[in-house]
Amino acid sequence: MSALGGMAAIEHKFGIADAGVRRDLDHAFEMTRDLVTDLCVSGFALHSSRFEDSDAQKHKQEQAVVVEVERYYRQVKGILATHKDFLEEVAQQLAKTGYLTAQNLKKIKETVPSLLYNQPMEG
């Protein structure tokens, strides 16, 4: 999901898709393809064989990859929306100082008014 973070953040903040995230998107698809075909996250039927998979099998695998990437993208956008206040404050402080320490992050957590800290942050 981390490969989709930049794209989701730009869309969330500015309401536009950014063409500059192509490499991130390609990386997200590559990682998800491995999850689908090697680790069977979408079921064993889509596992890639040692031999050449048929065109029909490749098509099914690719459809599953697209479904998973879209699901991950929705999750990332949800995480950004849930933690918006915290992330905005982190960005502002980072722009001001150029760096943040653990103490800075702790202070931001204590000052941002939201339900964010009643739930664990998702990675």
The tens-digit pLDDT sequence of the chain (123 residues) is 789 998 898 888 888 877 678 889 999 999 999 999 999 999 999 999 878 889 999 999 999 999 999 999 999 999 999 999 999 999 999 999 999 999 999 999 888 876 445 555 554
12/107 Cα distance (integer angstroms): 25
Task: Judge whether 120 and 94 are in contact, CB under 8 Å.
Answer: no
The ranges assigned to domains in the chain are: 1-81, 83-123
In Å, how far are 46, 66, 80, 122 from 73, measured between CA atoms? 21, 10, 11, 14
Q: According to the CATH classification, is domain 1-81 in 3.40.50.1970?
A: no
Tell me the whole-structure pTM to 2 decimals: 0.79
